[in-house]
Amino acid sequence: MSKLKAEAKPLREPLPMGAKTGATVVVEPLLGGELKAPPHFLQTTHEPGTRRAEIQMLGLFSRRSKFNTLPVPAYLVTHPTAGPFLVDTAFHASVSAKPSANLGRTMASFAHPTIEPGRDVPSQLRERGIDSQELGLVVLTHMHFDHTSGIAEYPAATFVVSAPEWEDATNDSKPFMRGYMPNHYDYLFDYRTVDFNQPGVSSYASFGRTFDLFGDGSVRLAFTPGHSAGHCSVICRLSDRDLVIAGDAIYTYDQLEGGDPPPRPFDLHNWRRSLRDLQQFAATYPQAVILPGHDPEHWPTVEKRYE
């Protein structure tokens, strides 16, 4: 039983926000902060889940000068009738001035989270005429701290997340050890959970279980568990191809291409299955855009706007 005051209701039908037959969306990747990570934080040369992988992940024997600066993205998606919404929140704006207030002292000192002054996600939304306080929808690929940090900035939003992710993030007795910070989401907000066993969930291309968010096929949540208990990727229909916000199902583009696995996925077997779904999609639709979760080399090649 969850000790949190936050509660979620199931989302059984597409959101009634304005489906439009044949709708396509615009996707704007936003850099919502950065953090420092040891060289093998994203990809291990050991067997994932082992002690050696964990030691290598934490970089106990790596010099800080060897740490990588990782992008922490959020995605602004604009639907022609449902309007703008976010996929993930990246860091809360307060992280630019005082990272420990939102992320805690351990994370602040270990990962050096930063936001370039004035480049927090709400400021980037404001530049586009969008008030974060009034935004109506946020989709979460999963609930690890670097994706939920900014939740409090969207009090009017409906938050959509998979049911197993919500269960894990709100019931864990040691959430911090597994990347969850309940202080980010323990609000009486409108949380909706998607059960990928319910009627209406269908396959799409290589993905076995997808949920049509608006009911018009423009945005689909694809169940890609493994990185975390209920991780989802988000498939967005652009005018002439699909764009997949892969989230942390792949940290890097190299992983999509068969590179070294992550050091500590929640479930290695499911991580590999979800990876295969993404790989098969990429092979079938070579023109599709696939965006990894935290790839420092790939991020500079990501376009400002996809339509």
Report d(CA 132, CA 117) in Å as an integer: 17
Give the nearer residue to Zn ion in terms of CB position, either 237 or 294: 294
Q: Which residues of 27-52 are buried (b: 16+ CB within 10 A; e: fewer)?
A: bbbbbbbbbbbbebbbbbebebbeee
Q: Give the count of beta carbons closer than 10 Å to the beta carbon of residue 259.
A: 13
Give the nearer residue to Zn ion in terms of CB position, either 34 or 248: 248
Least distance from Zn ion to the Cβ atom of residue 179, Å: 8
Identify residues 24-83 at the interface with Zn ion (CB under 5 A). none
Q: How far is CA 27 from CA 207, 223, 242, in A?
A: 21, 20, 11
Listed ranges 32-40, 47-55, 130-138, 140-148: which one lies at the site for Zn ion (CB under 5 A): 140-148
Least distance from Zn ion to the Cβ atom of residue 281, Å: 20
Give the nearer residue to Zn ion in terms of CB position, either 242 or 248: 248
Among 146, 153, 212, 295, binds Zn ion (CB under 5 A): 146
3-state helix, strand, coil in the chain (%, to 5): 30, 25, 45
Under the binding rule (CB under 5 A), the answer on residue 295 touching Zn ion is no
Return the half-sphere exposure (C-beta side, CA atoms, 13 A cut-off) of residue 292: 24
Least distance from Zn ion to the Cβ atom of residue 119, Å: 18
Least distance from Zn ion to the Cβ atom of residue 128, Å: 24
Identify residues 159-218 at the interface with Zn ion (CB under 5 A). none
Beta carbons of 282 and 256 less than 8 angstroms apart: yes
Residue 189, token pair as written in the block = 């907000």
- Token pair 């080399």 is found at 297
Listed ranges 83-91, 142-150, 227-235, 262-270: which one lies at the site for Zn ion (CB under 5 A): 142-150
Query: Phi and psi dihedrals of 73, rounded to 5?
Result: -90, 155
- Token pair 């945005």 is found at 219
Listed ranges 18-26, 182-190, 240-248, 254-262: which one lies at the site for Zn ion (CB under 5 A): 240-248
Closest-CA residue to 46 (of 263, 215, 284):
263
Give the nearer residue to Zn ion in terms of CB position, either 146 or 295: 146
Give the nearer residue to Zn ion in terms of CB position, either 164 or 247: 247
Beta carbons of 281 and 249 less than 8 angstroms apart: no
Report how many residues bind Zn ion under the rule CB under 5 A: 2
Residue 64, token pair as written in the block = 């800080």
Least distance from Zn ion to the Cβ atom of residue 169, Å: 13
Listed ranges 49-57, 73-81, 94-102, 241-249: which one lies at the site for Zn ion (CB under 5 A): 241-249
Report d(CA 83, CA 66) in Å as an integer: 42
Give the nearer residue to Zn ion in terms of CB position, either 146 or 212: 146
Among 28, 248, 277, 295, binds Zn ion (CB under 5 A): 248
Least distance from Zn ion to the Cβ atom of residue 141, Å: 8
Give the nearer residue to Zn ion in terms of CB position, either 20 or 36: 36
Least distance from Zn ion to the Cβ atom of residue 284, Å: 26
By CB under 5 A, name the binding residues for Zn ion. Answer: 146, 248
